[in-house]
């Protein structure tokens, strides 16, 4: 796992690109190999059709025209026309087929990356801005798919063009052909010399693009805070700085990239001039007029694909910077994995034990939890209370194995969580985080997220029990009302009621709930309390509790401070102890009670 990163820091690359990694890309091309072969055959046919042109011209100039051979001139013209039509059809097919293969490759790669992201642990998403993940899945993959489909086929087609042209050139005049190739070694050396600098420049550019994306993503997510504190000017200033970094990296990368293009152009022009010079000197001696004209046509046919190959080489170097990042994400290990001999957790009763659990978020950081031990009997409600940052959320995150414990173990019905499959564990748990996430879609879809095969009636009945039905009925289209991602059109209380309904539908044996602290009106508070009471019935529940009534009714209250359980018991027991809970209650909860 890389170290934590922000929009104003370039990411460290965990493994540098290795040329062998291009072989990995072959895996994506394999399903399309037959179609690609077919495309290449059409390219070969198209090339031969085009390359025939100068040869037909040579026959016309050297033989047909001097001999006034009209039938031959007609035959040559007809052949030329047919070759143009064939070349056109082959070209059209190639564009269509390559676009389709490119799009399919894009989906394949993006699906792989997206699927892999679904399996990565919270820790991966904790450690970097989400904008930096987004740019890999969207922009970088786009670049690569273009390189793979279009670039690769163009490359092969250009190589074929160069080879076929060379054959024709050698056939016409081998000395002139060798003269034309004299400067190729200079070109190869030039490309080799600049490639390292070019790779570095594009790696830097990809970092800066990633930073820019991260900042834009973060600013949009935080726009309400920005506007709330009237910090727009500050945001724009930061944006300008990040965008300017990006511009500078781009200019530097392009400066190096363009060092190759004009190099190829210059060498091609010098070579053409050289052939004119040598050809005209030898005209009529060893070179006929037709040969020279045809040869000059071939020189053009030869250099155009060579220039394209140079461009492909440039794109390859550019894409390497993106490929490094894509493979880096794909190689990121999903740290929370099923053990090789993991079995499915059988239907549980919900007896939970924490046995001397300690935990740290990162290898080098100090422990967040120290030696946590407690026993929750099936059906009990456990409230976790304590000051902010004490470790309450961390404890409940370990129970769902969003993170693995560092030492100690957690058991459910005496089965160690490390021994069971993640799916079978999480299917029996209902987790409600403090921030209820609403997906874009209808209210019905959002509740059904708890159990995808639930019928509409089951969704409605869960909503009724969770006390969400009443407000849903008041929405313009009831259950079919569309809500936006994050549920910005709903109130905090309404979002929580929806989350209750979602969890009720899933009907988990163990409920994990991080209670929202947001102050809500008394009516909604009553509704939420009623909904919550329904939710708790018959389940083992762990609640990071802020609501007084939840705390007072809990079977056990665990008071957490500095990552340790400092007190445990029922409300009246803890009050009688006059310890940490008493003080906490006195300062914090008394205030809440007064508000209620």
Ligand X SMILES: Nc1ncnc2c1ncn2[C@@H]1O[C@H](COP(=O)(O)OP(=O)(O)OP(=O)(O)O)[C@@H](O)[C@H]1O
Alpha-carbon distance values, 417 to 123, 508, 509 (Å): 19, 16, 15
Using rule CB under 6 A, residue 129 touches ligand X:
no
DSSP H helical segments within 173-288, as ranges?
174-180, 184-221, 223-228, 232-257, 261-281
Using rule CB under 6 A, residue 368 touches ligand X:
yes
Which residues have CB under 8 Å from 56's CB, separation 6+? 76, 79, 80, 83
From the list 554, 591, 508, the residue with the least C-alpha distance to 385 is 554
Q: How far is the CB of 490 from ligand X (least distance, A)?
A: 22
Alpha-carbon distance values, 262 to 74, 191, 265, 360 (Å): 41, 12, 5, 56
Q: How far is the CB of 117 from ligand X (least distance, A)?
A: 17
Compose the 487-526 pattern: x for residues touching ligand X by CB under 6 A, - for all others: ----------------------------------------
366: left (phi over 0), alpha (psi -120 to 50) or beta: beta
Using rule CB under 6 A, residue 451 touches ligand X:
no
Using rule CB under 6 A, residue 289 touches ligand X:
no
Structure tokens belonging to residue 44: 């070969």
CA dist., res. 19 & res. 148, Å (int): 15
Of residues 152 and 396, the one with the C-beta less far from ligand X: 396
Which span sits near ligand X by CB under 6 A: 177-185, 191-199, 339-347, 382-390?
A: 382-390
Q: How far is the CB of 582 from ligand X (least distance, A)?
A: 19
CA dist., res. 255 & res. 194, Å (int): 11
CA 246 to chain centre: 20
Q: How far is the CB of 148 from ligand X (least distance, A)?
A: 36
Contact 198, 334 (CB under 8 A): no
From the list 429, 425, 449, the residue with the least C-alpha distance to 505 is 449
Of residues 145 and 394, the one with the C-beta less far from ligand X: 394
Using rule CB under 6 A, residue 318 touches ligand X:
no
Using rule CB under 6 A, residue 393 touches ligand X:
yes
Contact 513, 432 (CB under 8 A): yes
Using rule CB under 6 A, residue 392 touches ligand X:
yes
Residues in region 135-154 near ligand X by CB under 6 A:
none
User: In the set 187, 205, 317, 390, which binds ligand X (CB under 6 A)?
Assistant: 390
Using rule CB under 6 A, residue 394 touches ligand X:
yes
Compose the 541-560 pattern: x for residues touching ligand X by CB under 6 A, - for all others: ---x----------------
CA dist., res. 427 & res. 415, Å (int): 16
Q: How far is the CB of 408 from ligand X (least distance, A)?
A: 16
Using rule CB under 6 A, residue 531 touches ligand X:
no
Using rule CB under 6 A, residue 388 touches ligand X:
yes
CA dist., res. 530 & res. 524, Å (int): 10
Of residues 11 and 351, the one with the C-beta less far from ligand X: 11
Give the interface size with ligand X as a residue count (CB under 6 A): 12
User: In the set 290, 310, 391, 531, which binds ligand X (CB under 6 A)?
Assistant: 391
Long-range contacts of 521-529 (CB under 8 A, 24+ apart): 521/493, 522/596, 524/491, 524/493, 525/493, 525/596, 527/467, 527/470, 527/493, 527/497, 528/467, 528/493, 528/496, 528/497, 528/500
Of residues 121 and 151, the one with the C-beta less far from ligand X: 121
Using rule CB under 6 A, residue 361 touches ligand X:
yes
| Residue in the structure block whose two tokens are 């173990």 | 409
Using rule CB under 6 A, residue 126 touches ligand X:
yes
Q: How far is the CB of 560 from ligand X (least distance, A)?
A: 6
User: In the set 222, 389, 538, 579, which binds ligand X (CB under 6 A)?
Assistant: 389
Residues that bind ligand X (CB under 6 A): 126, 361, 368, 386, 388-394, 544
């Amino acid at each position: 796992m890389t170290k934590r990163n922000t929009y104003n820091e370039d990411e460290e690359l965990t493994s540098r690109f290795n040329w062998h990694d291009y072989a990995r890309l072959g895996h994506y091309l394999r399903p399309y190999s037959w179609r690609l072969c077919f495309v290449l055959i059409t390219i070969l046919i198209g090339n031969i059709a085009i390359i025939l042109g100068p040869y037909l011209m040579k026959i016309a100039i050297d033989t047909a025209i001097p001999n006034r051979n009209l039938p031959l001139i007609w035959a040559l013209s007809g052949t030329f026309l047919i070759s143009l039509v064939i070349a056109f059809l082959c070209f059209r097919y190639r564009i269509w087929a390559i676009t389709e293969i490119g799009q399919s490759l894009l989906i394949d790669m993006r699906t792989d990356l997206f699927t892999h992201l679904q399996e990565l642990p919270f820790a991966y998403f904790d450690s970097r801005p989400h904008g930096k993940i987004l740019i890999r899945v969207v922009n970088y993959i786009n670049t690569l798919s273009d390189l793979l489909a279009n670039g690769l086929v163009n490359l092969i087609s250009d190589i074929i063009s160069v080879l076929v042209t060379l054959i024709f050139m050698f056939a016409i005049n081998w000395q002139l052909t060798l003269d034309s190739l004299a400067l190729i070694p200079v070109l190869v050396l030039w490309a080799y010399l600049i490639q390292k600098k070019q790779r570095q420049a594009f790696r830097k550019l990809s970092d800066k693009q990633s930073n820019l994306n991260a900042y834009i993503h973060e600013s949009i997510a935080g726009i309400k805070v920005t506007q709330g504190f009237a910090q727009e000017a500050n945001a724009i200033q930061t944006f300008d700085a990040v965008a300017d970094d990006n511009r500078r990296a781009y200019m530097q990368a392009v400066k190096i990239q363009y060092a190759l293009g004009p190099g190829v152009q210059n060498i091609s022009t010098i070579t053409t001039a050289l052939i004119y010079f040598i050809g005209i000197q030898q005209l009529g001696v060893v070179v006929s007029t037709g040969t020279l004209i045809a040869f000059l046509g071939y020189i053009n046919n030869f250099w155009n694909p060579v220039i394209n190959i140079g461009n492909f080489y440039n794109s390859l170097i550019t894409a390497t910077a993106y490929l490094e990042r894509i493979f880096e994400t794909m190689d990121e290990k999903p740290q929370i994995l099923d053990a090789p001999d993991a079995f499915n957790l059988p239907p549980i009763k919900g007896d939970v034990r924490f046995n001397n659990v300690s935990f740290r978020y990162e290898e080098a950081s100090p422990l967040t939890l120290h030696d946590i031990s407690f026993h929750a009997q099936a059906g009990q409600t456990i409230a976790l209370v304590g000051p902010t940052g004490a470790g309450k959320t961390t404890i409940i995150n370990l129970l769902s194995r969003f993170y693995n414990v560092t030492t100690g173990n957690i058991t459910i019905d005496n089965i160690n969580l490390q021994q069971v499959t993640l799916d079978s564990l999480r299917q029996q748990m209902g987790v409600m985080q403090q921030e209820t996430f609403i997906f874009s879609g209808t209210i019905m879809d959002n509740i059904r997220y708890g159990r995808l095969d639930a019928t509409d009636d089951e969704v409605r009945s869960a909503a009724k029990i969770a006390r969400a039905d009443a407000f849903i009925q008041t929405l313009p289209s009831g259950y079919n009302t569309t809500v936006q991602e994050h549920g910005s059109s709903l109130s905090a209380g309404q979002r929580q009621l929806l989350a209750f309904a979602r969890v009720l539908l899933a009907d988990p044996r163990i409920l994990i709930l991080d209670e929202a602290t947001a102050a809500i009106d008394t009516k909604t508070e009553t509704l939420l309390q009623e909904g919550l009471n329904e939710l708790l019935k018959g389940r083992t529940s762990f609640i990071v509790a802020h609501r007084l009534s939840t705390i007072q009714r809990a079977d056990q209250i665990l008071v957490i401070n500095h990552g340790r359980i400092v007190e445990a018991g029922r409300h009246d027991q803890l009050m009688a102890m006059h310890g940490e809970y008493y003080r906490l209650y006195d300062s914090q909860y008394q205030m809440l009670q007064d508000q209620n």
